[in-house]
């Protein structure tokens, strides 16, 4: 009986799991957490400077999601765009605190992920790996914040433009326009860098 109940919970939609979570079901919340924690962790790894901040952002995202579960209104089949929206706002808050030379402080909670030594190393390695593409990073740095946000959600987090619009709280049309501008800008920068590199190579220089 218990196994059948667990199977039923696992098969529920995100909206159903969040409704059950808001009613106090720890099992539903656990299923929801396991369903999306990998995607939110990848989001945090690409945007946070160290593993501690990754853990803070992931943990706080799901804590906020639990607290707001009774207000969730499904707009797509998955709650992932909603979670990315929460993460984006938390990341902005985190960055504002860093800008003021204050470190974000979050109380310890069982809802917060505690990385093992091996996981911590994996997160640190992923952060380092994400910085090993200087040409792409330079191209991204030339984008506006709004253009970069939508491009990263689509290219890295595998959202559709419409889902990215939900995460960014903008219209789907605005998301598509920003995405188009961002892609053109990145492509132009990479193409121009390739031309410069080829010219330098022809002249006998290595860059």
Q: Which CATH number fits domain 1-132: 3.30.10.20, 1.10.1740.10, 1.10.3720.10, 2.40.40.20?
A: 1.10.1740.10
Average pLDDT, consecutive stretches of 10 residues, N- to C-terminus, the chain (207 residues): 58 93 92 95 90 92 94 93 95 76 44 60 60 70 91 89 93 94 88 57 41
Question: Domain segments of the chain: what residues?
Answer: 1-132, 133-207
- Alpha-helical (H) ranges within the chain are 2-10, 14-22, 26-47, 51-67, 80-99, 117-129, 134-141, 145-155, 161-168, 172-202
User: What's residue 133's pLDDT?
Assistant: 57
Contact 170, 88 (CB under 8 A): no
Q: Which residue has the tokens 């994996």?
A: 122
pTM above 0.85, yes or no: no
Distance (Å) of CA 200 to CA 135, 197, 203 = 16, 5, 5
- What's the CATH fold of domain 133-207? Arc Repressor Mutant, subunit A (1.10.10)
Q: Burial level of 66, CB count in 10 A (0-12/13-18/19+)?
A: middle
**What would the two tokens of residue 77 be?**
């089949």
């Amino acid at each position: 009986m218990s196994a059948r109940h667990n199977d039923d919970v696992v098969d529920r939609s995100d909206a159903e799991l969040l409704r059950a979570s808001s009613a106090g079901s720890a099992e539903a919340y656990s299923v929801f957490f396991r369903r999306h924690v990998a995607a939110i962790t990848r989001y945090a790894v690409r945007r946070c400077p160290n593993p501690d901040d990754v853990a803070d952002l992931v943990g706080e995202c799901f804590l906020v999601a639990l607290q707001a579960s009774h207000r969730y209104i499904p707009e797509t089949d998955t709650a992932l765009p909603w979670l990315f929206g929460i993460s984006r706002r938390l990341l902005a808050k985190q960055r504002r605190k860093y800008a003021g030379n204050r470190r974000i402080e979050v109380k310890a909670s069982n809802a917060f992920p505690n990385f093992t030594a091996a996981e911590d190393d994996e997160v640190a390695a992923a952060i380092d790996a994400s910085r090993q593409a200087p040409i792409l990073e330079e191209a991204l740095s030339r984008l506006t914040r709004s253009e970069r946000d939508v491009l990263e959600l689509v290219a890295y987090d595998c959202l559709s433009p419409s889902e990215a619009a939900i995460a960014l709280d903008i219209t789907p049309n605005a998301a598509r326009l920003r995405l188009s501008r961002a892609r053109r800008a990145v492509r132009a920068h990479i193409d121009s860098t390739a031309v410069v590199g080829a010219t330098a190579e022809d002249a006998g220089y290595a860059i």
